[in-house]
Amino acid sequence: MSDSDGAGDRAGGQSDGSEDDRVEGAPELPADRDAVRDALVDWYEADHREFPWRRTEDPYEILVSEVMSQQTQLDRVVDAWEDFLDEWPTAAALADADRADVVAFWSDHSLGYNNRAKYLHEAAGQVESEYGGTFPAEPDELSELMGVGPYTANAVASFAFNNGDAVVDTNVKRVLYRAFDVPDDDDAFERVASQLMPAGESRVWNNAIMELGGVACGKKPRCDEAGCPWREWCHAYQTGDFTAPDVPEQPSFEGSRRQFRGRIVRLLGEHDEMELDALGHRIRVDYAPDGEHGREWLRGLVDDLDDDGLIEADDGEGGVVVSLRR
């Protein structure tokens, strides 16, 4: 489930990462794509928002969550989703319900367009009458259900059956645009999303990359606060440009710790190693070893990056030497 309006498009199948798959106008993706994938999945599995629909693989329950989340904040969906399933716990129960009751529930819970309630009711009827009470597992078949577009069909296939393609919603576009400098083009987003997703892992991958966009790479980025796992490769983190298709103006960044952390990572990418004071003079013009923004301030940034596994700081006889963690 996405934090966006649910209007994203479904990407194609996974790529083998060959040179022919490169997206025109975008830099080449990191050579070690497995490291990129593992970093994101590990980050997600270590800690993520515990929405109840993430604990089920029931396609009916997941479809309800996807339809409810369209243009509705996820925190508001939780109570409505639980109440809805208490009232109509299965597709069969919903199909047997009076449509007026379903629409009234939708309105009472302020879930937006009431047509979605009507379509969800009709989709449940289709599952019972056309599919013998068993949800189809393929995105193309799921798209035949009333009110279920390509994005929602792919989401249900991914989260219920682990059988989907790479989800591309507003959050995912923002992540790919910032992290890998992907051009603002739907075909480009879909191709890169497809290249990145590990084959046969659509459930965890799509949850993880949407979580990244919702928690760490929102309109106002929280790279360090949320421990973004892609900082090592991220174009925006290294350049300080956090604009995106849905963020036309740069979020407040000047003078922030995030800005200087990004400068450190970028500089260390250009040098095998740097002595602490040399690094300080390169990342800010007013650096003074014993000043307000001196060694103590810089060492705090370095230690944070070291704790995050991005760099290494070695205390030698000649002082502290910093390098990227390999």
Residue 243 belongs to some domain of the structure: no
Domain with 272, as residue range(s), is 257-324
The tens-digit pLDDT sequence of the chain (326 residues) is 644 433 333 333 444 444 445 556 556 789 999 999 999 999 999 999 999 999 999 999 999 999 999 878 888 899 999 999 999 999 999 999 999 999 989 988 888 888 899 999 999 999 999 999 999 999 999 999 999 999 999 999 999 999 999 999 999 999 999 999 999 999 999 999 999 999 999 999 999 999 999 999 999 899 988 999 999 999 999 888 899 988 777 666 567 777 788 788 888 888 889 999 999 999 888 889 999 889 999 999 999 888 877 788 988 777 899 998 77
Helix, strand, or coil (residue 122) = helix
Q: How far is CA 121 from CA 75, 129, 260, in A?
A: 23, 12, 53
Together in a domain, 133 and 205: yes
- Helix, strand, coil shares, percent, the chain, to 5: 50, 5, 40
Q: Is residue 72 part of a domain?
A: yes
Q: Report the CATH number that the domain containing residue 61 is assigned in CATH.
A: 1.10.340.30
Determine the Cα–Cα distance for residues 283 and 276; give it in Å rounded to an integer. 11
If one counts the domains in the chain, the total is 2
Query: Taking the complete model, does pTM exceed 0.75, yes or no?
Result: no
Q: Are residues 165 and 294 in the same domain?
A: no
Q: Are residues 190 and 304 in the same domain?
A: no
Instruction: Say if 232 falls within a structural domain.
Output: no
CA separation (Å) from 55 to 64, 153, 160?
Answer: 14, 19, 10
Q: Are 197 and 296 members of one domain?
A: no
Instruction: Please list the active-site residues.
Output: 66
**Residues making up the chain, counted from first to last:** 326
**Residue 209 belongs to a domain:** yes
Determine, yes or no, domain membership for 206: yes
The pair of structure tokens assigned to 293 is 């923004």
Contact 292, 280 (CB under 8 A): no
Co-location of 100 and 183 in the same domain: yes
CATH at residue 308: 1.10.10.10
